[in-house]
Structures are given as structure tokens and as C-alpha cells.
Structure 1
Amino acid sequence: MNFRRIAFGAAGAAGVVVLLEAVSRAGLIDETALPPASTVLGEAGKLAVDQDFLLDVGATIRAWFGGLALAVLVAVPLGVLLGSVPLLGTASRALVELLRPIPSVALIPLAIILFADPTQMKMSLIFYACLWPILINTLYALRDVDPVAKESLRAFGFGTPSVLWRVSLPSAAPFITTGVRIAASVALIVVVSTELLAGGVNGVGIYLSSTQAGGGRTDLLLAGAVWAGVLGLLANLALLGLERVAFRWHSARVEGIA
């Protein structure tokens, strides 16, 4: 089943590449606006051995991973606390719903003022953007834990901490991991957008911006965007693989129900 999914995904990607190549070669769209897919992929291949571009990728990954890791360290314990103590969860609900819709890019001017270091500035915005999907997933995961399992444990004399550790967290863990996986994609969008809008020294977004200087090179812009997509794909596959290995019992149950 997994092989079929990979094959279908690869076929879909190849079909899009062929379609874009045909549209550009047929002259339906100006090649300066949309270069042939083969040209873009060729430039992307050159970027793989370009030391300057690799430095940009490294800077983006450092900020991306740092902000995401910080969000996990804060959001998961906070979500467990708010989800386990109903009074705190109710009291904080209005604040969470007020702050959650604020786009992180709207906070770029504030982040620039607060953080002189570009990496710290990017990490702060990534942290803010990733906090909410992880927190919300944690909250809803804890609310959906089977109450019968919790009450059964309490009937045997286990206290609240034991119920949380033995039942609630194991049941919620797969959904928390899904929140982290969603947040990883959000983090990549935020870090590249921040680099594009706020500037800096290194980063994939800085590279994308530089390709438009002096007349613009759309082929280089799209080649850099391809690598941004590859980074997101690799991160998603890594987290998905970790999720399947760590929570194999959950995957088996879901596939059995499906």
C-alpha cells in the first residue's frame, strides 16, 4: 500500500513537470515569466553544490528547527496543563482564541525591534506561529481521551498524575505529534516569508529575494523555491516516519478501522 502511494505521488509530480514543460515550450506563457521545468530543475541541481546557497539553506534550517523545538517545549506542557485543569483551560480559552488568529508576519516589525540577531528574530516568529497548532492539538487530544479508561484507573486507586501519565498522555501522543508535523510546515513558510520581508544576511528567503535584483532571474527564483519545497517534504516524511515507528499501535488501529 505504501509503495502504491509513493508511486502515485511520483507519477503526479512527474505529470505536473511534463505539463509545465509543455506549456512553456509551446509558447503559451512567456519563458521569462515561466521557464521550462527542465531549466528550473537544472538550476536546482546546480544549487545543490553551490556553497553560498548551502549556507543560506543552513541558516534557514537552524532558525526553522530552533523555533519549532522551542514551540514544542512550551506548547506541549502548556497544553497538558490547560487540558488537565478545566479551570485553567476555561480561563485561558478567550486569550488563546484572541492571539491564535494573529499572523506571525504581522509581528515582524516588533520582532525586529526586540531581537537584534536575525536568527533570534526568525526563531521568535516561528515559535509564535508553531505554538498554536501544537497547543490546540494537545488540548483536543486530551479532551478526547477515553473517559472509561481514566475512570477505570481511578477505580483502582490511581491518582490524577498517574492517570495522566498512564492513560491520557499515551492516548494523546499521536495527535500531539500530528500537531508538530503541521507546525513544521507552518514554520518553513514563516521562516522563508520572514527572510523575504525582513531581509538579513543568510537564508533561502534572502536568496529568493536576491534572484530578482538587477532584472530578475525567474529560473533561479523557482529553483530556490523547489529546494524550499524539498526541505518541507523531507521534514514531513521524517516526522511521519517517526510517528509510524513510535506509534505503530495507533497506525495499525487507524488502518484497521479504515
Structure 2
Amino acid sequence: MRDGQGGWPLDDRGAAYGDGLFETVLLRDGSPLLWDEHLARLVRGCHALGIPMPAERELAAPLAEAGPGLVVLKLILTRGSGGRGYRPPASPEPRLRWQLATFVPAENRWREGVRVRHCRLRLGIQPALAGLKHLNRLENVLARSEWDDEGVAEGLLCDSDGRLVEATAMNLFWQRDGRLETPRLDRCGVAGTLREALRERLSIAEVEAGPEALIAAEAVWLGNSVQGIWPVVRLDDADGVERQRWSLAPLHRGFQAEAHRLLGYPLPDPT
């Protein structure tokens, strides 16, 4: 693991208040995957928070140090230091840090599918931050602490009104009545870069739906730009009681293949 540009001063607003953004980018032999989507989301985040956007050459500088194979680049951009309490500085001087780490995807989850569960925690509704990958991720931390069963790969999150939003670290997709769907993210949640790329290539409807939509689904998937797509084969409630089960089928593999082409991952064999 390699870190760029040292640590954080104690008065950094990202460390003190979560006042910043981050991107987690998969690199293959030094080349970033879905780079345009990552930059576009970072631009949206900078605009929403009022943080100056770094030059692309600054953001791309770590790529030369990545080396061969699969590597994950984590970029962290904060507002920097300054201001008084919560009041931000009038002319922020952003601070950019980065980290490189070798990566091995969980291929067994591609092949075999995963078991997931509902979380008790509910995401707060805040449209001003919806879709952004900001540094305030305590809700995700608390949700992930709800289970320690290694057989459970992810937890699903609803907002405070009971609408499906996402998993703790992945976006959620399903097919219902022959139509691909994903939760609408205009109230909370992270608009993942793989999600955005797939929506550009496939007809995926953004919907408002509760957990009952998954019970009616023909197939369910989780995905992000690092892990790829995991088919869901079992869904539990927050107490670990099974609610639904799916058998892997060509339907699961077709959607997975679309995502894996974007990431350079092996295409799954039809089931």
C-alpha cells in the first residue's frame, strides 16, 4: 500500500467534519477504469460543496506509480484547513491525498452469487448531498456493524421513509416483470460510477420502491466499480431469517457480463 503526499494536519476540515469527497478507482496495469465517470462525479461533488476542482493532471498523477495488475486508487479531496468552526473559509485551499493498494476481486461471488440481508439502520434524507461520494459515511459504518456473519456479503439500506436506496458499499439492481430497475437516488445514497455507465448502455429504470419489490423480482444484483457485479441468491431480513431465494440463470449472467466488459473482468459462463 502506498500513500501520496503524507498525512493530515489536525485542522483539516475533511478529518474534522467530513468536509470533502472521495473516489475509489480500479486501475488495470496503471489505466483507470470508468475514469470519465469518476471525474464527472467528482465535479458534481465539488460544485455541490463549493470546493475548487483540482486539475485533472493532479488527479491522474498517482497513475504512474500504480504498477502492473489490479490496483485500487483512493483519491480524497477535502476543503483543506481554515474557517471558524463549521463556517468554511471564504477562499478554500483544497487538500488532495491518495492511496494505492493491490486488489484481488472476490471471484467466487461472481460465480456463486451472494447472500445479503436488510439492515435496521435507515438513511437520512438529504437531497443536497444525494448521489455524492462525500466523506460523511457514518451511516454506512453503523449499518455494516450490524452483522459479522462471513456468509453475508452485504446489507441493504432503506431511507427513513422505507424506500430502497443501496447496499452499504454497492448499488442495487433488480429485474421485475421483465424490466431492469434501480433505486432513485435523488434523496440520499451514492450514485456509483458503474451504475452510471450501465444506465448509459442499458434501459434501467430509476424507481421508488420498498423492500417488497425484491420479493417480486426475477433477479437481483449488487455492483460497484471495483468488485463488479454480484448476483444475489438469498435475501434475509434484519434478523437473519430468509425472505427470498433465487437460482442463478442466464438472466443473471447477461447483466453481469455487461458490467464486466466495462471493467475488463472475465465474462461469466451462462448458467
Q: TM-score range by the shorter chain?
A: under 0.3
TM-score where L is the length of structure 1: 0.23
Q: Between Structure 1 and Structure 2, which shows a larger proportion of strand residues?
A: 2
Larger RCO: Structure 1 or Structure 2 (Cα < 8 Å, ≥ 6 residues apart)?
Answer: 1
Q: Between Structure 1 and Structure 2, which shows a larger proportion of helix residues?
A: 1
- The structure whose Rg is larger is 1
TM-score where L is the length of structure 2: 0.22
